[in-house]
Amino acid sequence: PPKPKPPSPPRHSLDRASEIRQFLSPVEKQCHLKNEKAALQQLLPAYLGYTISLVTGNPLPLLVGAASLMGKDPMQEENANVHGFRGMGG
């Protein structure tokens, strides 16, 4: 009986997960930088209020700074999109 031929290697060795990872890495890097910038802008009023409260002894600036932390995270939707793209890649 004739021997069966071994399976031939794929014509293109494409790995979808690595292709998506390679494609999205600059997007994720940019998103990470934007997250850090947004976090700094969100925390700055709190730190400023804390410092003014320590210097003046008045708790009102601390409360105003803390109120700024209660706002919605401006990067939440963009982060969800980037993670969604990563999940679609497999």
**Tokens at residue 76, please?**
């939440």
If you ran DSSP here, which 8-state letter would residue 15 be given? -
Q: What backbone phi and psi angles, to 5 degrees, belong to 42?
A: -80, -35
pLDDT digits (tens, 9 = 90+) for 5-53: 766 656 666 677 778 778 888 888 888 888 888 888 888 888 898 899 9
Which has more pLDDT, 83 or 18? 18
In the predicted model, is pLDDT for residue 68 greater than 60? Answer: yes
pLDDT-derived band at 62, boundaries 50, 70, 90? confident
Question: Which two tokens mark 3?
Answer: 């021997």
83 compared with 56, residue with greater pLDDT: 56
pLDDT at 32: 84
Please list, residue by residue across 17-34, b when 16 or more beta carbons sit within 10 angstroms of its beta carbon and e when fewer do: eeebeeeeeeeeeebeee
Are 82 and 31 within 8 A, CB to CB? yes
